[in-house]
Structure 1
């Protein structure tokens, strides 16, 4: 993967972990307003996830990089995003995909005793277009 530099999120955590990953998936946006995106088409999505925390787990991780990759890649790779239940009543735009990736990761982080937080998810749909999702503080409650 080509090294990318992304916008950083301001925080006061002692540790910050960033994980880049990618997956291939198809989607369509069933609205006339979407133009060409109404038709089924695919992307190789590139994702960057930022995790912050003050405490490490018993082996010295905020969270294992492999767990993050498994959460995203196993769920979405080589799938049609419209077929996922979380997009049943909404269009799988890049914005909503970034939000859903955050929700899925944060659910796993909430089970960890060291309490890491997913601070930012960036989803790049094409080489020139990406979305940054940053949760509000109340989203962690």
Structure 2
């Protein structure tokens, strides 16, 4: 059997975005509360009964959250353009090699936008 563990977190951040629709507001610095969920999959270790120690997952997720929370996303060079897609990829890259990430979801609850990256 394969199990999926998840850890959710949120962060507040500002950004600008050059886009064709809703252009004027997007070009100005504005902020959102972003929600994110990281998933890992696996088979529980017979000795521990766990796929992954959730304390480890929380610690690694918190380190990524600190890189994003209360930041101007435009100023994070490894992020690229501050889109939902790039936020998913950024989170996945920073967790790679630390935890066996299988998906990352980022969404903005207040306006209903979201993105799911499946690895």
* TM-score (ref. length: structure 1): 0.69
Aligned to 1:96: 86
Distance 1:46 1:32, change over 3 A: closer
- Aligned length, in residue pairs: 113
How far apart are residue 67 of structure 1 and its match? 1.4
CA contact (8 A) 1:51 1:120 kept: yes
Listed as ranges, the matches of 1:74-89 within 5 Å are: 74-87=66-79
Larger strand share, 1 or 2:
2
CA contact (8 A) 1:19 1:68 kept: no
Unaligned runs of 5+ in 2: none
Unaligned runs of 5+ in 1: 1-12, 110-116, 136-141
Equivalent position SS for 1:33: coil
Structure 2 counterpart of 1:107, from 97, 110, 115: 97
In structure 2, what is the Cα distance between the partners aligned to 1:32 and 1:54?
43
Structure 1 counterpart of 2:115, from 131, 136, 139: 131
